[in-house]
């Protein structure tokens, strides 16, 4: 019996424990859900509102606002240790000292609100600031002028309830846009780029005047930037920033400015990494950065500086892309607005704050006028004597009030007990020395001030505009734009990548790759290049460089493929199938689908290539056709000139060579390029050459033609045009070079301190030469590239008349290093080019544009059953158009004669 009871008790205990466990599990799950729903959202809201995202009102994050407030508390005009400021800030900011010190350094490095002393780090090199106990700071004059005003500040209690701190500082300037902001919260981030101080003020003035405006970022690190897709700083926008790279000499590049968000250290690391991967080739790097950036990139021999500059932009941090995201806090809520809306809001807020300040100032002046008037009445009418008999305070108040009543009709408000109380506090010494005239003058001065303030309030917008102009005049010096605005051209990585691999081929087995080192070497290449392959069966394909790739057996040609290359022309002969006729065509390959096979024959089985050549400049060679001696074939051998054939698409069938079997095709002689001269344009926006009709047309260029480039620093050179070329910022002449056309110049020789005139020709092309002296004070006044230029010289002395200089009569053409003839020792005010004298320029020899006899076109004009035509050796017509007509006429005549088809030969 007892055992049964014990068992039942044990079962009850298990049941109770299970119920408690289930209950505990239910409670735990409920608590976790509650934690996720409430605690997580509370934490996320706290991070967004109190740590990471700045306020739209004053442009500051909470830690920044508390730092500024603490600095104002401690401000006595002298520097304070940053450690002391950090400690004081901890009274308002409930976080550690390290985060406060870091935030303060970031504010200081923006060079706007804090006057720094000591080592505050370097935004160019990325060096950190010294410890907070070693550096000092105080508020800048700008911050004291713009950021603080206790009378217009709304306050709240600090986190521990012991002190008051500002909800928002009364900032009368678009501070958020000037400093920029970056922060990552929980599920939210912001990235507001810094803008130029002067441009922001100008934009605010335009907005107040009702005019449109546009603002774009400006970075303290300088550099050049493309803001085409800035999109007003909203989500989805993009800014491309580049380092400023110049060519110091043929073997050295110098980086003088770096992109925003990078440092010289990170930039150099990225260059070294790209060099290790073989994307670029450099010899060594020198970092001479101190107050200004100077990174020297030394290039190995036979490496193009222009191509190296593009490669630095393509493969290193010399070009970075920034995605702005304008997110701020407004009314305790994150909002996404553009920078234009931010500026409008800040400007409207500035107007409101200025209005509040004027209203407070007006109220203070009116109160001062009111009490000064009471004081004058009180003393001038000796009302203070009326209180001598009074024994109680109430009696004193009443006596003074009664004594003032006859004299207060002109007052602007009623008298209060506080006013009377202040009158009783006037000292006897002041009463005894009271000067009525001075009192009147003082009150009149107050009335003038009141009138001025009222006028400001009546013309509030004009007052705000004057306020912004004062800020610009007072603090704008040294804050000019540092980042150069430019539109970038896209750099194709494959065109600028340095050769870091070697390409090999096994023609018989059909393998290509960089690992086939025992097979035939093709060329040096980059690991991002594409390769074009032609096979004996008439198929072509393009594939990416890899270690080993199968592309098909019997490879007849392999090379690096250049997309959109219209200069490379392929001369192609093939037999169509086993029993088909033979055809020829010329084509280029501009774009293809990678790893797709293209049949260049008609697609019939058994087709094979009879002759193939790749010509990088469109050359058309002459070949000899050899037929097999079969049947009634009379002519077994003749020559074909590829120049007689037009360049068409790769998919065309081509022109018929013959229907008989070709024994062989032999190369006979080289040809000339059949391509027309290439037109080249210069796009000033991106400072680049192009063949896409963008910008100014420089002319038509053949292979031997060159560009003339002259800079303001007195350097000239004639070089072959290349779309990858870079140009100096001081370039003043860019035109097609004519070797016989003299260059005329007037320059000041710094060593001899006098002006000279010279005329010269470029003696050595592809070499940059200086044509003025190297003295630091030497400078080029004017340059002319006409045959017979005329210039007008204006002297600084008014007594001297303007002088006209005929360069042709003044001096003969001499060497580029010649000093020239002395013009004057007087100071020249200005030199202007006048209209040049007429000159009959010698006509250039026009190269005959090759027109092609296209058999397919002829056949279209003839009846369907017209046989092919034998190429007659007796027809010797130089005029291509006449030759075409003669062939057409002969074909019609042969058609009429009904000659037997077996005796007919093809056109060639």
The 3-state DSSP class for residue 795 equals strand
CA distance to 107, 165, 750, per residue, from 172 (Å) = 18, 19, 50
Q: Taking a C-beta distance cutoff of 8 angstroms, is the pair 756, 749 a contact? A: yes
Q: Taking a C-beta distance cutoff of 8 angstroms, is the pair 768, 715 a contact? A: yes
Burial of 317 (0-12, 13-18, 19+ CB in 10 A): buried
Q: Which two tokens stand for residue 711?
A: 């800079």
- First-to-last CA distance in the chain? 125
Q: Taking a C-beta distance cutoff of 8 angstroms, is the pair 339, 195 a contact? A: yes
Catalytic residue among 46, 92, 134, 574: 134
Cα distance between residue 239 and residue 192, in whole Å? 12
Q: Which two tokens stand for residue 503?
A: 């390409």
What strands lie across the sheet with 114-117, from one edge to the other? 80-81, 136-139, 114-117
Q: Which candidate, 598, 594, 574, 599, places its Cα nearest to that of 584? A: 574
Q: Which candidate, 767, 760, 761, places its Cα nearest to that of 819? A: 760
DSSP letter for each residue of 533-573: EEETTSEEEEEE--S-EE--SSEEEEEEE-TT--S-EEEEE
Cα distance between residue 379 and residue 442, in whole Å? 15
Q: Which residues contact 342 (CB under 8 A, 6 or more apart)?
A: 56, 174, 176, 177, 192, 233, 326, 328
Q: Which candidate, 520, 529, 523, places its Cα nearest to that of 503? A: 523
| Distant-in-sequence contacts of 443-448, Cβ < 8 A, 24+ apart | 443/369, 443/372, 443/373, 443/376, 446/365, 446/368, 446/369, 446/372, 447/369
Query: Can you say how many angstroms the Cα of residue 84 is from the centroid of all Cα atoms in its chain?
Result: 41
Q: Which residues contact 62 (CB under 8 A, 6 or more apart)?
A: 50, 51, 93
Q: Which one-letter DSSP state was computed for residue 48?
A: I
Q: Which residues are registered as beta bridge partners of 558?
A: 533
Residue 588: CB atoms within 10 Å: 19
463 in catalytic set:
no
Burial of 371 (0-12, 13-18, 19+ CB in 10 A): middle
Q: Which residues contact 115 (CB under 8 A, 6 or more apart)?
A: 79, 137, 138, 139, 140, 141
Q: Which residues are part of the catalytic machinery?
A: 134
């Amino acid at each position: 019996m007892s055992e049964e009871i014990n068992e039942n008790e044990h079962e009850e205990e298990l049941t109770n424990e299970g119920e408690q466990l289930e209950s505990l599990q239910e409670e735990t799950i409920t608590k976790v859900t509650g934690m996720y729903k409430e605690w997580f959202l509370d934490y996320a809201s706290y991070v967004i509102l109190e740590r990471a995202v700045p306020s739209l009102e004053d442009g500051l994050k909470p830690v920044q606002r508390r730092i500024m407030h603490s600095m104002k508390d401690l401000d006595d005009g002298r520097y304070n240790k940053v450690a002391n400021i950090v400690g004081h800030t901890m009274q308002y900011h409930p976080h550690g000292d390290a985060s406060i010190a870091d935030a303060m350094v970031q504010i200081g490095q923006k060079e706007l609100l804090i006057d720094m002393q000591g080592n505050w780090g370097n935004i160019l090199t990325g060096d950190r600031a010294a410890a907070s106990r070693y550096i000092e700071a105080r508020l800048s004059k700008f911050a004291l002028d713009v950021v603080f005003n206790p009378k217009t500040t709304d306050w709240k209690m600090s986190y521990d309830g012991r002190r008051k701190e500002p909800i928002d500082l009364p900032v009368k300037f678009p501070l958020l846009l000037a400093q920029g902001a970056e922060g990552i919260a929980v599920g939210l981030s912001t990235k507001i780029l810094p803008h130029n101080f002067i441009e922001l003020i100008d934009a605010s003035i335009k907005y107040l005047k009702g005019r449109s405006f546009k603002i774009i970022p400006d970075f303290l690190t300088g550099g050049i930037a493309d803001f085409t897709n800035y999109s007003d700083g909203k989500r989805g926008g993009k800014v491309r920033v580049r380092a400023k790279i110049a060519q110091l000499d043929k073997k050295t590049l110098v980086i003088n400015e770096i992109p925003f968000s990078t440092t010289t250290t990170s930039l150099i690391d990225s260059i070294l990494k790209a060099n290790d991967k073989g994307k670029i080739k450099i010899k060594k790097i020198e970092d001479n950065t101190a107050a200004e950036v100077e990174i020297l990139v030394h290039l190995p021999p036979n490496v193009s500086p222009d191509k190296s500059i593009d490669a630095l932009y393509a493969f290193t941090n010399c070009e970075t892309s920034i995605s702005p995201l304008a997110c701020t806090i407004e009314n305790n809520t994150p909002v996404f607005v553009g920078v234009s809306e931010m500026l409008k809001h800040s400007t409207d807020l500035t107007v409101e704050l200025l209005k509040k300040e004027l209203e407070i100032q007006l109220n203070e002046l009116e109160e001062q006028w009111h009490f000064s008037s009471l004081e004058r009445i009180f003393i001038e009418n000796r009302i203070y004597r009326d209180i001598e008999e009074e024994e109680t305070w109430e009696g004193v108040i009443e006596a003074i009030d009664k004594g003032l009543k006859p004299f207060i009709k002109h007052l602007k408000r009623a008298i209060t007990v506080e006013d009377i109380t202040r009158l009783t506090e006037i000292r006897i010494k002041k009463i005894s020395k009271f000067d009525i005239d001075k009192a009147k003058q003082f009150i009149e001065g107050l009335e003038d001030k009141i009138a001025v303030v009222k006028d400001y309030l009546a013309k509030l917008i004009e007052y705000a505009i004057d306020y912004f102009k004062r800020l610009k005049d007072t603090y704008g010096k040294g804050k000019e734009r540092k980042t150069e605005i430019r539109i970038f051209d896209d750099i194709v990585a494959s065109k600028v990548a340095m050769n870091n691999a070697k390409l090999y081929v096994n023609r018989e087995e059909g393998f290509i790759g960089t690992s086939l080192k025992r097979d035939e070497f093709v060329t040096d290449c980059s690991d991002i290049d594409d390769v074009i392959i032609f096979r004996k069966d008439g198929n072509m394909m393009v594939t990416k460089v890899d270690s080993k790739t199968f592309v098909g057996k019997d490879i007849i040609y392999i090379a690096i493929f250049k997309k959109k290359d219209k200069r490379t022309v392929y001369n192609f002969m093939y037999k169509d199938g086993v029993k088909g006729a033979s055809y020829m065509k010329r084509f280029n390959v501009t774009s293809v689908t990678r790893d797709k096979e293209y049949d260049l024959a008609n697609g019939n089985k058994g087709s094979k290539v009879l002759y193939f050549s790749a010509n990088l400049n469109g050359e058309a060679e002459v070949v000899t056709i050899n037929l097999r001696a079969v049947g009634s074939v009379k002519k077994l051998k003749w020559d074909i000139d590829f120049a007689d054939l037009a360049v068409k698409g790769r998919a065309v069938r081509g022109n018929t060579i013959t229907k008989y079997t070709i024994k062989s095709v032999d190369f006979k002689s080289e040809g000339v390029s059949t391509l027309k001269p290439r037109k080249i344009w210069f796009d000033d926006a991106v400072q680049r050459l192009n063949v896409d009709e963008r910008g100014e047309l420089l002319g038509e260029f053949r292979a031997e033609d060159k560009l003339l480039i002259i800079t303001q620093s007195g350097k000239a050179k004639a070089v072959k045009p290349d779309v990858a070329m870079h140009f100096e910022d001081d370039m003043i002449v860019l035109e097609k070079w004519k070797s016989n056309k003299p260059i005329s110049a007037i320059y000041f020789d710094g060593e001899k301190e006098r002006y000279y005139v010279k005329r010269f020709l470029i003696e050595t092309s592809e070499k940059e030469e200086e044509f003025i002296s190297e003295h630091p004070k030497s400078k080029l006044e004017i340059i002319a590239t006409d045959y017979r230029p005329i210039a007008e010289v204006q002297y600084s002395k008014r007594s001297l008349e303007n002088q006209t200089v005929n360069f042709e009569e003044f001096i003969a053409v001499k060497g580029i290093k010649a000093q020239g003839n002395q013009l004057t020792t007087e100071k020249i005010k200005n030199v202007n080019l006048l209209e040049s004298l007429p000159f009959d320029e010698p006509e250039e020899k026009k190269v005959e544009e090759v027109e092609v006899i296209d058999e397919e076109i002829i056949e279209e004009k003839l009846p369907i059953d017209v046989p092919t035509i034998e190429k007659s050796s007796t027809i010797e017509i130089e005029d291509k158009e006449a030759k075409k007509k003669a062939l057409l006429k002969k074909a019609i005549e042969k058609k009429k004669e009904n000659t037997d088809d077996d005796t007919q030969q093809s056109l060639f």
